[in-house]
């Protein structure tokens, strides 16, 4: 599978894939918006999310929105909120890439850091616990959600329209 690297197994365990969310082709381990949800079967069984049509993979820190068996959005919870942690969602332990380079979440501490890395957003929206910066590319978009203290909380890709 494209974008999936295997971690070295510990004694008696099979190697688990390393998750890679790539913001250039808008894919999680090769699976993008519009692709069959079944392509993410390697994440294991998901659970129904809070929103209708959402499937959560809490151990991986990933939430997927789907419709008609197709992926509509993928979100990586870099720093889950207190409510997400209480719901069992772990931090995303994978790699986030943009234009072939890894994004270190520790180096995102403000809106200015996001703009310096990704350019000016198409939309900035204030949220109850922070703000979201949205970017567009063709029929797909992606967003960066910052917590109230300006640190990276969530990164997601989604189908527009």
List, for residues 51-97, the tens digit of each pLDDT value. Answer: 668 999 999 999 999 999 999 999 999 999 998 899 899 999 899 99
Q: Are 60 and 19 in contact (CB under 8 A)?
A: yes
Give the global pTM: 0.84
* Whole-angstrom distance, CA of residue 36 vs CA of residue 95: 22
> CA-CA distance, 144 to 161, in Å (whole number)?
19
Domain coordinates of the chain in residue numbers? Answer: 5-159
DSSP letters, 68-88, are TTEEEEEEEESS--HHHHHTT
How many CB atoms are closer than 10 A to CB 153?
24
Q: Report yes or no: 79 and 46 within 8 Å, Cβ to Cβ.
A: no
Model confidence over 117-150: pLDDT tens digits? 999 999 999 999 899 999 988 778 889 999 999 9
State whether the Cα torsion 81-85-91-96 is positive or negative. negative
């Amino acid at each position: 599978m494209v974008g999936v690297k295997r971690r070295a197994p510990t004694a008696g365990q099979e190697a688990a894939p390393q998750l890679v969310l790539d913001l250039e082709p808008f894919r999680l381990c090769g699976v993008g918006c519009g692709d069959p949800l079944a392509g993410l079967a390697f994440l294991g069984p998901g659970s129904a999310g809070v929103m209708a049509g959402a499937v959560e993979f809490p151990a991986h820190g990933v939430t997927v929105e789907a419709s008609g068996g197709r992926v509509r959005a993928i979100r990586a919870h870099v720093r889950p909120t207190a409510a997400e942690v209480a719901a069992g969602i772990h931090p995303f332990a994978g790699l986030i890439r943009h234009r072939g380079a890894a994004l270190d979440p520790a180096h995102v501490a403000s809106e200015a850091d996001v703009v310096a890395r990704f350019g000016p957003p198409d939309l900035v929206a204030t949220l109850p616990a922070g703000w979201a910066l949205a970017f567009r590319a063709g029929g797909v978009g992606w967003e960066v959600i910052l917590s109230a203290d300006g640190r990276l909380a969530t990164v997601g890709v989604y189908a527009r329209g």
